[in-house]
Chains A and B, each alone.
Chain A
Amino acid sequence: MNCQDLHDMLDAYLDGELATKERQLAEAHLGACSACRADAMFQQALKTRLCQAVETSAPDRLRQRLCSVLRDCERQRPWLQRHKQTLRHAAALAAGIAIVAGGWYYRNANDEAAVEGLVQASISSHRRHLPLDVQSSSGESIRSFFRDKVPFAVKLPQLPSQHARLIGARLSSLRGRDAVLLHYLVDGQRVSVFVLDPSALPREELRAASGYQVMIFRRGGAGYTVASDIDRGKLMRLISW
């Protein structure tokens, strides 16, 4: 692989769209060529920064306005007559979150496949939204329910209880490993936290995929993946990434 080849496939590499073989070729070239590595680092950092810079949340009054418009639609009112309210400009966007770009690391191809597998499995399980085995807002009763059912201690993550309401849990599995799925509601939006043996996690990761935000991390001897409907900023504040 030469520089032009790398240049042509750099986007697909950074976006995780390359097959394992191609990814290994790209990594071999990046390891050997400092100019291409500089370019890749810049593009990777740009991706991360864009994500933080562009994300935003809808103002509450917009949410209310949309709900009221939908109710109007339901009542068969002439919905084409949009009632455009005079809207005052919303407050300045919340300050961006500190840069978490972190250092550049060479992605090990096996790790990458494992991370991608975990991300997809977490999203898929989050979307299926299957019934819970135990409904409880008490961490203690959930811990005792799963005692002897999974081969690891079910430690609940420390989430601010005023924001995150625990609903319950169910036995789950991610990539063939046992996991306990904890179901939380954050401002009415679902957050699925999977507790699993930390050895099942190849590395820590924060990634958007298929429109969902996914986090993979270790805390206090437990492994976690989180899949959620909420935006990245809110999720990062919740988990104190």
Chain B
Amino acid sequence: MALSNRQRFEDEVLPHLDALYGLALRLCRDRQEAEDLLQDALVKAFRFFDHFESGSNVKAWLFRVLTNVFYNAYRKAKNIERLEQTAETEGHHHRFLATASTGGMNGEDALLGHITNEKLREVVDTLPEDYRVVVILCDVYGFSYREIADIIDRPVGTVMSRLHRARRILQKLLLRYGIERGLVEAPEEATEQEGRVAEIVPLHSGHEDRKKGQSQ
């Protein structure tokens, strides 16, 4: 008996529902909205299922559809999202990790060992969407740079620069939290920087790439 189009679609898609929901939840940061996003994305994928080439990576394709629907219909207040400028200060942090006084433990154990999953999700959720999506696609779902580039429809160079900045921002936010909680001690240079008024710049498409281009 031949399977209907819907049955074939369900066979292909349902195994990936958890993963899709996980991304939707981190994109929307709201359960209700994540469920609506997932529903819209699946309806759209179903409509275009005929165009999907069987044998290619259905999971990457579904992530691409979901990301597209999110950017086109769910993303709020485009270009208003603001991001702390961290580029000038990031270089100090790895020195800081090596020298931080952490009672004999290294910085990784002292800090990450004390941070709950909830706190970590909260910190990830403060990343701008463009950064959040690449770090999740890479670290949680293990997509390659090339696959991520296809999913978000941007060049591999953009994926790399966003990933780099996303991780540095995460590291900075976690360190700040660790210092506030007394999990790690702030060396003098870091205190100085934390005390500085953070420069706020608007995040708009291509910002990080242009900046990179100028500095080279």
Question: In the complex, which residues of chain B have a beta carbon less than 8 angstroms from the beta carbon of A32?
Answer: none
- Cβ of B167 and Cβ of A211 under 8 Å apart? no
B87 contacts chain A at the CB level, 8 A cutoff: no
Question: In the complex, which residues of chain A have a beta carbon less than 8 angstroms from the beta carbon of B35?
Answer: 62, 65, 87
The residue in chain A whose Cβ has the minimal distance to the Cβ of B90 is: A7
Chain B 141-180 against A: per-residue CB contact (8 Å), 1 yes, 0 no? 1111101000000000000100110010011001000000
- Cβ of B147 and Cβ of A74 under 8 Å apart? no
Given the known inter-chain contacts A54-B26, A58-B18, A231-B19, please indicate yes or no for A70 contacting B106, CB distance below 8 A. no
- Cβ of A50 and Cβ of B142 under 8 Å apart? no
Complex Cα–Cα for A175 and B72 (A): 42
CB distance from A128 to the nearest CB of B (A): 9
- Cβ of B107 and Cβ of A46 under 8 Å apart? no
Partner of A38, one of B38, B57, B108, B147: B108
Classify the secondary structure of B's interface with A. Answer: helix
Complex Cα–Cα for A190 and B108 (A): 36
- Cβ of A50 and Cβ of B46 under 8 Å apart? no
Give the number of chain B interface residues (Cβ < 8 Å): 69
Given the known inter-chain contacts A11-B160, A50-B139, A231-B19, please indicate yes or no for A211 contacting B60, CB distance below 8 A. yes
A167 contacts chain B at the CB level, 8 A cutoff: no
Question: In the complex, which residues of chain B have a beta carbon less than 8 angstroms from the beta carbon of A58?
Answer: 17-18, 20-21, 38
- Cβ of A46 and Cβ of B171 under 8 Å apart? yes
A69 contacts chain B at the CB level, 8 A cutoff: yes
B135 contacts chain A at the CB level, 8 A cutoff: yes
Question: In the complex, which residues of chain A have a beta carbon less than 8 angstroms from the beta carbon of B18?
Answer: 55-58, 230-231
- Cβ of A212 and Cβ of B142 under 8 Å apart? yes
Complex Cα–Cα for A200 and B158 (A): 37
- Cβ of B171 and Cβ of A43 under 8 Å apart? yes
- Cβ of B16 and Cβ of A229 under 8 Å apart? yes
A210 contacts chain B at the CB level, 8 A cutoff: yes
CB distance from B123 to the nearest CB of A (A): 9
Interface locus among B74-82, B109-117, B185-193, B196-204 = B109-117
- Cβ of A54 and Cβ of B22 under 8 Å apart? yes
Given the known inter-chain contacts A208-B140, A208-B141, please indicate yes or no for A42 contacting B171, CB distance below 8 A. yes
Question: In the complex, which residues of chain A have a beta carbon less than 8 angstroms from the beta carbon of B174?
Answer: 46
B95 contacts chain A at the CB level, 8 A cutoff: yes
A71 contacts chain B at the CB level, 8 A cutoff: yes
11 CB < 8 A contacts A-B? A17-B144, A42-B97, A47-B139, A54-B139, A62-B38, A65-B39, A73-B43, A208-B140, A211-B59, A211-B143, A212-B59
A contact set with B: CB distance below 8 Å: 7, 11-12, 15, 17, 34-39, 41-43, 45-47, 49-58, 62-63, 65-67, 69-71, 73-74, 79, 82, 84, 87, 89-90, 93, 96, 99, 101, 127, 188-190, 207-213, 229-231
The 8 nearest A-B residue pairs measured at CB = A208-B142, A39-B94, A229-B15, A211-B59, A58-B21, A96-B117, A53-B117, A35-B98
- A54-B124, A55-B22, A69-B43 provided; 15 other pairs, C-beta below 8 A? A15-B144, A35-B99, A42-B111, A42-B171, A45-B108, A46-B167, A49-B120, A50-B124, A58-B20, A66-B17, A69-B42, A74-B6, A189-B15, A211-B59, A211-B143
